[in-house]
């Protein structure tokens, strides 16, 4: 009798322990400390919420769910996904750069977006972000961040050089930049009129794509079976960039990061750079930093890119993961914004992709900096979600940089880029 009672007790304990066990979700993000833990003042008081506070809120509402945030720097993020998959340690939720999406989709990593979530996204999301999260004609996740490009200029340097307004076109910009470049006696550049950054693929490829789009060109044909960098538009876009190198407005040693220290008068940048500029310029921020739409060639246009939230197909808790994401991105707070929208607008300083979030933060998203990026969403074309996107982007960056250095003519650089990219497309689209 005693033995039977003991067995029943053990079985009951096992059942109650398993009933108490929480559903554990792992969420991989590429955000830094303050974006995860929130912005705190000198006394350690929370000033702006980070993603951890929203997760805590969700866990309080859903005690059976436990969410672990794994933060990995952007440069290591793709590596983390690859290695964790090989090791069988998959995360349940990812925030993904859409350019990596094709490989993840083709390898069967991403779960299908539930129909109700898809409907919510299509009803509420801005077009550029929606397109950016589409792969092979299908939505692959919930857009979480949309970035595009605009011209940042130093108001003081412009005024000092006799310019009242920022340039509207690329040609105007090239002319002004040349006049704003200052050289020291030994011939080195003390201040660049304009700066790219040759080692960073986005800072090379995205301005080039913006120029290409502005000319009505594209990098690929519609079904990705051919790279169209041999088009007259592609050549003209690169030649227009090279004008800046020829007229002394910039050189390959220039860096977009010189803008914050006054070493560059103008740069092309994305919205997320605002926080860094506020920190660098401190009280001088509003007096010195100006933002204008991307200086176009023929029509106003700019390149953009998207990050989206996806769920791993191998997750044991897909339903719970989608429920959490739905709450984070569509459950509205008192001001009509979602938690993710609040995080983007107040902490990360990126543009939230949902229209209701953009409307809910007029002060933050309609300020001197972000308003230009938000207005330019209508002219934003998302970079194409093509197989081996990262590899293709690196190839194009290398060839553009070779042309900047004068190592290759623009024709030769684009021809080689096209050949190498076509080889990749042939591997994946034929």
Partner 1 sequence: MRKGLRKRNLVGYGFIAPALIFYAVFFGFPVVFSLLVSTRRWNMLVPFEEARFYGFRHFEYLLKNELFMRALLNTCLYAIITVFVTISLSLIFATLINKSKFSVLWRFLYFTPIVTPPVAIGTIWNYLYKPNNGVFNHILGSVGIDPVYWLTDPNTVLFAVMITAIWGGIGSSMLIFTAGIQNIPQAYYDAAKIDGAGPFRQFWNITIPMLKPTILFLTATGMIGAWQVFDLPFIMGKNAPAKSIMTVSGYVYESAFQSMRMGRASAGAFILFIVIFIVTIFILRAFRKGGMSGYED
Dihedral class, residue 406 (left if φ above 0, else alpha if ψ from -120 to 50, else beta): left
Closest CA to 347 of 45, 49, 31: 49
Q: Please pick, from the candidates 1, 5, 17, 108, the single residue that binds partner 1 as defined by CB under 8 A.
A: 108
Binding mask 186-225 for partner 1 (x = CB under 8 A): xxxxx------xxxx-------------------------
Residue 212 in contact with residue 218, Cβ under 8 Å?
A: yes
Terminal-residue alpha carbon distance, the chain: 72
Q: Please pick, from the candidates 391, 409, 415, 429, the single residue that binds partner 1 as defined by CB under 8 A.
A: 391
- The size of the interface with partner 1 (CB under 8 A), counted in residues, is 35
Nearer to partner 1, 58 or 196 (CB): 196
Asked if 82 is part of the footprint of partner 1 (rule: CB under 8 A), the reply reads: yes
Number of H helices, E strands in the chain: 20, 15
Q: Work out how close the CB of 87 gets to partner 1 at its nearest, in angstroms, rounded to a whole number.
A: 10
> In this structure, what DSSP letter does residue 212 have?
H
Binding mask 125-164 for partner 1 (x = CB under 8 A): ----------------------------------------
The tokens of 408 are what? 């290759």
Binding mask 233-252 for partner 1 (x = CB under 8 A): ------------------xx
| Bridging pattern class, strands 150-154 and 264-269 | antiparallel
Asked if 388 is part of the footprint of partner 1 (rule: CB under 8 A), the reply reads: yes
Asked if 253 is part of the footprint of partner 1 (rule: CB under 8 A), the reply reads: yes
How far is it, in rounded angstroms, from Cα 224 to Cα 212?
A: 17
Residue 320, SS3? helix
Q: Work out how close the CB of 402 gets to partner 1 at its nearest, in angstroms, rounded to a whole number.
A: 5
Give 6's contacts (C-beta < 8 A, 6+ positions apart): none
Q: Work out how close the CB of 410 gets to partner 1 at its nearest, in angstroms, rounded to a whole number.
A: 15
Asked if 109 is part of the footprint of partner 1 (rule: CB under 8 A), the reply reads: yes
Residue 311 in contact with residue 95, Cβ under 8 Å?
A: no
How far is it, in rounded angstroms, from Cα 239 to Cα 68?
A: 49
Binding mask 41-80 for partner 1 (x = CB under 8 A): -------------------------------------xx-
Asked if 401 is part of the footprint of partner 1 (rule: CB under 8 A), the reply reads: yes
Q: What is the DSSP string of 101-141?
A: HHHHHHTT-BPPPPHHHHHHHHHHB-HHHHHHTEETTEE-S
Q: Work out how close the CB of 76 gets to partner 1 at its nearest, in angstroms, rounded to a whole number.
A: 9
Asked if 104 is part of the footprint of partner 1 (rule: CB under 8 A), the reply reads: yes
Residue 96 in contact with residue 307, Cβ under 8 Å?
A: yes
Asked if 107 is part of the footprint of partner 1 (rule: CB under 8 A), the reply reads: yes
Q: Work out how close the CB of 110 gets to partner 1 at its nearest, in angstroms, rounded to a whole number.
A: 10
Contact residues toward partner 1 (CB under 8 A) are 78-79, 81-83, 85-86, 103-104, 107-109, 184, 186-190, 197-200, 251-253, 255, 388, 390-391, 394, 398, 401-402, 405, 407
């Amino acid at each position: 009798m005693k033995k039977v009672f003991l067995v029943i007790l053990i079985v009951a304990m096992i059942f109650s322990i398993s009933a108490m066990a929480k559903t554990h979700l792992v969420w991989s993000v590429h955000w830094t400390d303050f974006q995860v833990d929130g912005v705190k003042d000198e006394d350690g008081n929370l000033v702006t919420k980070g993603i951890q506070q929203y997760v805590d809120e969700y866990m309080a509402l859903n005690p059976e769910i436990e969410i672990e945030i794994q933060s990995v720097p952007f440069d290591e993020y793709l590596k983390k996904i690859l290695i964790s998959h090989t090791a069988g340690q998959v995360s349940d939720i990812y925030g993904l750069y859409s350019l990596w999406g094709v490989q993840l989709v083709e390898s069967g990593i991403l779960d299908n977006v539930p129909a109700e979530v898809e409907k919510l996204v299509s009803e509420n999301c801005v077009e550029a972000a929606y397109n950016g999260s589409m792969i092979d004609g299908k939505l692959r996740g919930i857009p979480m961040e949309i970035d595009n490009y605009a011209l940042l200029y130093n108001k003081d340097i412009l005024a000092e050089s006799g310019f009242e307004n920022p340039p509207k076109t690329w040609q105007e910009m090239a002319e002004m930049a040349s006049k704003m470049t200052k050289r020291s006696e030994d011939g080195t550049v003390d201040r660049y009129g304009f700066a790219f950054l040759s080692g960073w693929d986005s800072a090379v490829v995205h301005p080039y794509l913006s120029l290409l789009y502005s000319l009505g060109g594209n990098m690929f044909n519609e079904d990705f079976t051919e790279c169209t960098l041999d088009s007259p538009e592609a050549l003209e876009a690169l030649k227009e960039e090279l004008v800046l190198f020829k007229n002394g407005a910039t050189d390959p040693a220039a860096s977009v990061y010189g803008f914050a220290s006054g070493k560059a008068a103008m740069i092309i940048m994305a919205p997320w750079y605002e926080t860094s500029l506020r920190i660098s310029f401190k009280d001088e921020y509003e007096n010195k930093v100006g933002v204008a739409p991307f200086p176009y060639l023929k029509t106003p246009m700019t390149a953009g890119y998207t990050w989206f939230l996806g769920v791993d197909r191998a997750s044991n808790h897909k339903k719970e993961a989608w429920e959490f994401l739905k709450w984070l991105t569509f459950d509205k707070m008192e001001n009509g914004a979602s938690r993710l929208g609040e995080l983007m607008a107040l902490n990360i300083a990126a543009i939230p992709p949902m229209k209701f979030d953009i409307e809910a933060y007029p002060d933050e998203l309609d300020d001197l900096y972000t308003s230009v990026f938000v207005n330019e969403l209508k002219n934003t074309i998302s970079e194409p979600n093509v197989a081996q996107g990262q590899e293709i982007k690196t190839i194009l960056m290398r060839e553009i940089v070779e042309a900047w250095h004068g190592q290759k003519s623009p024709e030769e650089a684009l021809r080689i880029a096209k050949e190498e990219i076509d080889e990749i497309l042939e591997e994946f689209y034929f």
